[in-house]
Chains A and B, each alone.
Chain A
Amino acid sequence: MPNLNRIKAISEKEVFHILRDSRTLAIIFILPLLQLIIFGYAMNMEIRQVPLVVDDHALNSSSRALVDAFIQTDYFRLVPKGPGVLDPGELFKQRVAQATLSIPKGFNQDDFTAQLKIDASDPNSAQMIQSYATGIVNTWSAKAGVGIALSPLILYNPDMKSSFFFVPGLIALILVMICALLTSISISREKEMGTMEQILVSPVTATEILLGKVLPYIFLGLMDALLILAVGMLLFQVPFRGEFAVFLGFTFLYVLTSLCLGLLVSTMAKTQQGAMMTALGMTLLPTLLLSGYMFPIPSMPPILRRITYIIPARYYLQIIRGIMLKGNSVQHLYQAGLSLVTMSVVMLVIAARRFKLRLS
């Protein structure tokens, strides 16, 4: 049985290390904020105010209504067409416009045909522009009483704001990175400094060392989660529809999983630097690419899809998006929570086994 007094002694000492080391404190509180702001503003996937040149040959009420429909949204802004024939290619080359709309003379009740040309040198933006345009045309044609009246109802994020999508994702990414980093350093530092030798001579067991080191960081991890959540909500106006207690409970599980991952890393690494690199390597890219943060898991090839099952952020993303955007409660999330618990236990057991109570 792990001895509580010894765990307490190790935790207390760890708190002293954290409080006295400005570098660690910076990692804990400044790095997440920087990441949130940089990622938050850089990874904005929406496009607004697309420069649009309109070449209206019809000049009737229908054509004017269509053009109005475009520029009344925030998505497009009208760029005046120069003299002469419209040359979309040239406009795109000069980056004057990203899209052009040509309305032919016969644009009326009998034939509502118009042509939209889009600069697809950036395919992602082109796709967004296309879908904005389709939406606008659908609404317009429904009003005009032509075509099929398709009125999609978009739930949870009606404005399709990408901040709704990435702020929860960033909480997942930043937490796993910071937590894994912190614990991975804390053990390798003791190995490097030689202080581990002195602990190993004492009656302390591997489990006690690991638990003692994890406890203070659980608290710090939760503080970090709250910090990112608060700043994310302030800066990016992300809603929080679920219950705070549910958020706290599941975030605790995720922090625990991330810390255990760091512990596992630190039992393998010999130096602090090695531990840091491994911890970053095991969290940053896998979380970005394989958690469903950037790319939807269902569209991945089967092998990658299987790998996503061992990425903790995969489960937490489900949880945090569910809580923040959908107001999910425990009954919707317990499966993802159980997966996190399982991962923590497995990693902690492996770490405790790998952790040698003797020097090599």
Chain B
Amino acid sequence: MIHTKNLVKKFGAFTAVDDINLDIAKGEIFGFLGANGAGKTTAIRMIIGLVLPTSGQIIVDNLDISKGSEKVKHKIGYMSQKFSLYPDLKAIENLEFYSGIYQIPFRQAMKNIQPIIEQFGLQDILKNRTEDLPMGYKQRLSLVAALVHDPPLVFLDEPTSGVDPQARREFWQVINDLAYAGKSVIVSTHFMDEAEYCHRVIIMQDGREVALGNPAELKATHDSANMQELFLKVLGEDHAKSE
């Protein structure tokens, strides 16, 4: 579904993303791991067309993203790292707005997201103003808003930061269901335990790929008991290499 080739992004002299090559399949949960500033967000923003790559190619569902075509945008659902629904609108008005700009009749949109609304227990807060909702609900609502148009590709940039463990588990339940329904879900996170839920992960440092593969296989190759250990190990090896 997603294919990137030699993807590079430079901001002046600073290289945010350095030669990233990815192939993400339909129905796959793909994780971007790395410390803050490792280039996860920039990489995601390039794939969804928010940021123009300095060089390299991005093909999404057989369409070159650099053409900026509307077709691609309809296939993408995106939940940004920063909460970005309208605080002065009611929850349901936010959903209505997003269904409007994706040209989905609101009834159809509600049908698309009804199961997730129920799973998240959002039915009762839809009439509330978004700014009055607790953080956890805002995050859940953001995810729902990204799904009104039933996109085959879902990008979640640190969806679980600032969310309690209970809500995190719910989030991952929904992510699993989405993948099971055939959507590709691209998640960035700095919670290492969450990486276990991904089918494949890329670990990034200073914009570069330091490891890429299935979490279980990566742990085996690097002889690590858990993701935390794996993470520190590959970053350490990478540092040693570059010095």
- Flag the segment in B72-80, B164-172, B213-221, B228-236 that touches A: B72-80
Determine how close the nearest CB of chain A comes to the CB of B186; give it in whole angstroms. Answer: 13
Determine how close the nearest CB of chain A comes to the CB of B73; give it in whole angstroms. Answer: 4
Q: Which of A17, A197, A203 has most chain B Cβ within 10 Å?
A: A203
Determine whether the beta carbon of B102 is less than 8 Å from that of A359.
no
> How distant is the Cα of A12 from the Cα of B76 in the complex, in angstroms?
23
Residue of A6, A20, A198, A203 touching B80 (CB-CB under 8 A):
A198
Determine whether the beta carbon of A200 is less than 8 Å from that of B50.
yes
Hey, which chain A residues are within 8 Å of B49, CB to CB?
A: 201, 358
Determine whether the beta carbon of B88 is less than 8 Å from that of A17.
yes
- Is B243 close to A, CB under 8 A? no
- Is B118 close to A, CB under 8 A? no
Residue of B45, B68, B87, B98 touching A202 (CB-CB under 8 A):
B98
Hey, which chain A residues are within 8 Å of B48, CB to CB?
A: 201
Question: What is the 8 Å Cβ interface bit string for chain A, positions 5-48, against chain B (1 contact, 0 not)?
Answer: 11011101100110011000000000000000000000000000
Hey, which chain B residues are within 8 Å of A17, CB to CB?
A: 86, 88-89
Q: Give 8 new A-B contacts, CB below 8 A, not counting A6-B100, A6-B103, A194-B80.
A: A5-B103, A10-B97, A10-B100, A17-B89, A197-B84, A198-B84, A202-B73, A358-B50
> How distant is the Cα of A201 from the Cα of B44 in the complex, in angstroms?
12
> How distant is the Cα of A12 from the Cα of B92 in the complex, in angstroms?
13
Determine how close the nearest CB of chain A comes to the CB of B233; give it in whole angstroms. Answer: 34
A342-358 contacts to B (CB < 8 Å): 357-358
- Given the known interface contacts A20-B88, A358-B50, A358-B52, the answer about A199 and B80 at a Cβ–Cβ threshold of 8 Å is no
Residue of B50, B52, B96, B99 touching A201 (CB-CB under 8 A):
B50
Interface range on chain B (Cβ under 8 Å from partner)? 20 to 34
Determine whether the beta carbon of A16 is less than 8 Å from that of B93.
yes
Determine whether the beta carbon of A203 is less than 8 Å from that of B102.
yes
Nearest opposing residue in chain B for A195, CB measure: B84
Determine how close the nearest CB of chain B comes to the CB of A45; give it in whole angstroms. Answer: 44
B168-211 contacts to A (CB < 8 Å): none
Nearest opposing residue in chain B for A16, CB measure: B89
Nearest opposing residue in chain A for B48, CB measure: A201
Determine how close the nearest CB of chain A comes to the CB of B30; give it in whole angstroms. Answer: 18
- Is A193 close to B, CB under 8 A? yes
Residues of A within 8 A of B (CB): 3, 5-6, 8-10, 12-13, 16-17, 20-21, 193-195, 197-204, 357-359
- Given the known interface contacts A201-B50, A201-B73, A201-B78, the answer about A194 and B102 at a Cβ–Cβ threshold of 8 Å is no
Hey, which chain B residues are within 8 Å of A357, CB to CB?
A: 68
Determine how close the nearest CB of chain A comes to the CB of B154; give it in whole angstroms. Answer: 12
Determine how close the nearest CB of chain B comes to the CB of A7; give it in whole angstroms. Answer: 9
Hey, which chain B residues are within 8 Å of A10, CB to CB?
A: 97, 100-101
Determine whether the beta carbon of A6 is less than 8 Å from that of B85.
no
Determine whether the beta carbon of B80 is less than 8 Å from that of A13.
no
Residue of B50, B74, B85 touching A203 (CB-CB under 8 A):
B74
Q: Is the interface of B mostly helix, strand, loop or mixed?
A: loop
> How distant is the Cα of A100 from the Cα of B224 in the complex, in angstroms?
105
> How distant is the Cα of A70 from the Cα of B49 in the complex, in angstroms?
78
Determine how close the nearest CB of chain A comes to the CB of B236; give it in whole angstroms. Answer: 33
The 6 closest A-B pairs by CB, nearest first: A9-B100, A203-B73, A203-B70, A194-B82, A194-B84, A201-B78
Can you offer 26 A-B residue contacts whose CB atoms are under 8 A? Answer: A3-B103, A6-B101, A9-B97, A9-B99, A9-B101, A12-B96, A12-B97, A13-B93, A13-B100, A16-B86, A17-B86, A17-B88, A20-B89, A194-B83, A194-B84, A195-B84, A197-B82, A198-B98, A201-B73, A202-B73, A202-B98, A203-B70, A203-B73, A203-B74, A204-B101, A358-B49
Determine how close the nearest CB of chain A comes to the CB of B184; give it in whole angstroms. Answer: 16
Determine how close the nearest CB of chain A comes to the CB of B12; give it in whole angstroms. Answer: 12
> How distant is the Cα of A122 from the Cα of B141 in the complex, in angstroms?
66
> How distant is the Cα of A202 from the Cα of B51 in the complex, in angstroms?
14
> How distant is the Cα of A3 from the Cα of B70 in the complex, in angstroms?
12
Hey, which chain A residues are within 8 Å of B99, CB to CB?
A: 9
> How distant is the Cα of A193 from the Cα of B88 in the complex, in angstroms?
12
Question: What is the 8 Å Cβ interface bit string for chain B, positions 38-76, against chain A (1 contact, 0 not)?
Answer: 000000010011111000000000000000101001101
Hey, which chain A residues are within 8 Å of B86, CB to CB?
A: 13, 16-17, 193, 195
> How distant is the Cα of A149 from the Cα of B75 in the complex, in angstroms?
85
Hey, which chain B residues are within 8 Å of A9, CB to CB?
A: 96-97, 99-101
Determine whether the beta carbon of B101 is less than 8 Å from that of A199.
yes
Hey, which chain A residues are within 8 Å of B73, CB to CB?
A: 201-203
Determine whether the beta carbon of B76 is less than 8 Å from that of A201.
yes
Hey, which chain B residues are within 8 Å of A197, CB to CB?
A: 50, 80, 82, 84
